[in-house]
Amino acid sequence: MDFLVNLGIKPINEGVSTGKNWIPGSSEKIESFSPVDGKLIGAVTTADATSYRKVVNTAQAAFIEWRKWPAPKRGEVVRQIGEALRAKKDDLGKLVSYEMGKSLQEGYGEVQEMIDICDFAVGLSRQLHGLTMHSERPGHRMYEQWHPLGLVGIISAFNFPVAVWSWNTMLAWICGNVCIWKPSEKTPLCSIACQNIVNEVFEKNQVPEGVSSIINGGRNVGEWMSNDPAVPLVSATGSTRMGKAVGAAVGARLGRALLELGGNNAIIISKDADLNIAITGALFGAVGTAGQRCTTTRRLIIHESIYDTVKEKLVNAYKQLKIGNPLDSANHVGPLIDKDAVKQYLQSIEACKAQGGNFIIEGGVLEGTGYESGCYVKPCVAEAENHYPIVQHETFAPILYLLKYANIEEAISLQNGVPQGLSSSIMTLNLREAEQFLSAAGSDCGIANVNIGTSGAEIGGAFGGEKETGGGRESGSDAWKNYMRRQTNTINYSTQLPLAQGIKFDL
Ligand code: NAD
């Protein structure tokens, strides 16, 4: 496995680092097994309280220096990281695919997202604009500027083991912050590879030790960061359960939390849909990354007049799916992340049946040659109703629920009728329906698409969702403002001291 060597991954790796210094942590190690073939890829050591504090102290010292670098100069360093990622795209894409289990094309796609966000951040480093206002007082000038925030803690999920870190980090860096990354314990080796890539660029540019840190470990390490007042912003991606815990801990100390949590995304298929687009979008949305995207399509809300046609087309499309090693480009669907995920998939199928669901494409675990890891499952489809508890819940696996509707108001109400609010879409060529779906009375999600499925967002837009998805926004648009503190400045260049609101204070 050349890509492991090329990325500097050893059988046993230190999992805690402030840059070129790798810090011995606790004696506990995380072993990373590939869901592709069940083999041990490597192990990492984890942070303990002492190494955690060392990382935070080094990061604090680095921030004192880094915040003084002009933003475009920080942008130049990020530009070089983008170049380094281009050079390592093949190796890193393979590691993502092998450690996480997504298809190789999706692994490359994830690295491409990292490159794209680097490019975006480089341009942004010259555009951290504030506003100017007209003062109500003569001889006064008023404006607003954005300053770096400090330490940004990043907690990431297994399913996007590198891209989500880069969405946060590249923006946070150009904004003048230093970052501490707590990667998913299911994909620790991806963090070692990223840190190695960054270290090389940072060393060349004499970036202070501590601007890029990683702290591998379980949820307890994430909890230290959530509770630590030294970390003004915690950006956490993962389940709603995790987000509620992180949000409460960060909120209790009045810190800032940026939460990117679970989704329960639906596509409305109108009677006026282009069915070729609709079926392709639904299929990719439901089975891509084996249903382990936060934006995975979990519900299809289909107009009653075309329900049977859509059902038939779906059954035909599902029959053609090839499930197997994701590094082989002939396969469409790879494995789930681990056996725990397989257990949850099976439990959800049972729950759906018990609640009245009717499977038109049955699920199940694949066995035999090529499926030795025990993590390969069949994507399945059930006719269900929106109110079933299992339909209201995000199962991180390729289970798709079919729902029927009679009019657009009902379709929108079904789409919105879940606790989560990440991604949504309508397939229609009817302008009125499309606009209604996008209007204030339409989708309540952070992402609402027309004639595109729910999954696969571009980095240029702000990414995130409402309700139990957490309300955070990352990546493009003005998401950078999350990583800065806003300051309003008033300058008096007159010879008087007029008070605001015309208040007199005569001595
Ligand atoms: P998870 O919640 O189990 O873990 C995510 C991360 O949080 C891990 O690093 C974990 O160690 C840490 N963590 C867990 N509990 C914690 C706590 N109490 N305090 C601090 N840290 C804690 O999620 P997962 O299984 O890795 O990922 C799947 C979930 O992530 C799905 O729900 C998916 O929808 C969501 N997700 C959301 C987005 C988004 O942008 N909205 C993107 C990717 C994944």
Atom of ligand 1 nearest to the CA of 238: 30
- What is the pLDDT at residue 456? 79
Average pLDDT (216-230) is 98
Q: Is 431 exposed, middle or buried (0-12, 13-18, 19+ CB in 10 A)?
A: exposed
Please indicate whether residue 120, judged by its CB atom, sits closer than 6 Å to ligand 1. Answer: no
DSSP secondary structure letters along 33-46: E-TTT--EEEEEE-
At 1 the pLDDT is 83
Atom of ligand 1 nearest to the CA of 294: 34
Question: Which SS3 state, helix, strand or coil, does residue 138 take?
Answer: coil
The helix/strand/coil state of 155 is strand
Q: What is the pLDDT of residues 233-268, one digit of tens each?
A: 999 999 999 999 999 999 999 999 999 999 999 999
In the prediction, which pLDDT does 490 show? 97
Q: What is the pLDDT of residues 340-356, one digit of tens each?
A: 999 999 999 999 999 99
Of 14, 99, 110, 260, which one is the catalytic site residue? 260
CA of 244 to the centre of ligand 1 (A): 11
Atom of ligand 1 nearest to the CA of 337: 25
Residue 260: active-site member: yes
Residue 25 binned pLDDT confidence (cut-offs 50, 70, 90)? confident
Distance, CA of 372 to CA of 357 (rounded, Å) = 30
Expressed in angstroms and rounded, the spacing between residue 143 Cα and the centre of ligand 1 is 39
Residue 362 Cα distances to 85, 188, 279, 324, angstroms = 41, 33, 19, 17
| Average pLDDT of the segment spanning 283-311 | 97
Q: What is the pLDDT of residues 86-121, one digit of tens each?
A: 999 999 999 999 999 999 999 999 999 999 999 999
pLDDT at 200: 98
The share of the chain scoring above pLDDT 90, in percent, equals 97
Query: How far, in Å, is the centroid of ligand 1 from the Cα of 293?
Result: 12
DSSP states of 168-221 as a string?
A: HHHHHHHTT-EEEEE--TTSHHHHHHHHHHHHHHHHHTTPPTTSEEEE--SHHH
Residue 245 Cβ inside 6 Å of ligand 1? The answer reads: yes
Q: Is the pLDDT of residue 53 over 80?
A: yes
498: helix, strand or coil: coil
Instruction: Identify the band that residue 27 occupies on the pLDDT scale cut at 50, 70 and 90.
Output: confident
Over residues 462-470, the mean pLDDT reads 98
Q: Quick one: average pLDDT of 140-159?
A: 98
pLDDT at 507 over 80: no
Q: Give the up-direction half-sphere exposure of residue 167: CA atoms within 13 A in the CB hemisphere.
A: 31
pLDDT for 506: 76
pLDDT digits 0-9 by tens, 386-431: 999 999 999 999 999 999 999 999 999 999 999 999 999 999 999 9
State if residue 261 touches ligand 1 by the CB under 6 angstroms criterion: yes
What domains lie within the chain, and their CATH numbers? 2-261+470-487 (3.40.605.10), 265-458 (3.40.309.10)
Check whether 320 has a pLDDT greater than 80: yes
Length, in residues, of the chain: 507
Mean pLDDT value across the chain? 97
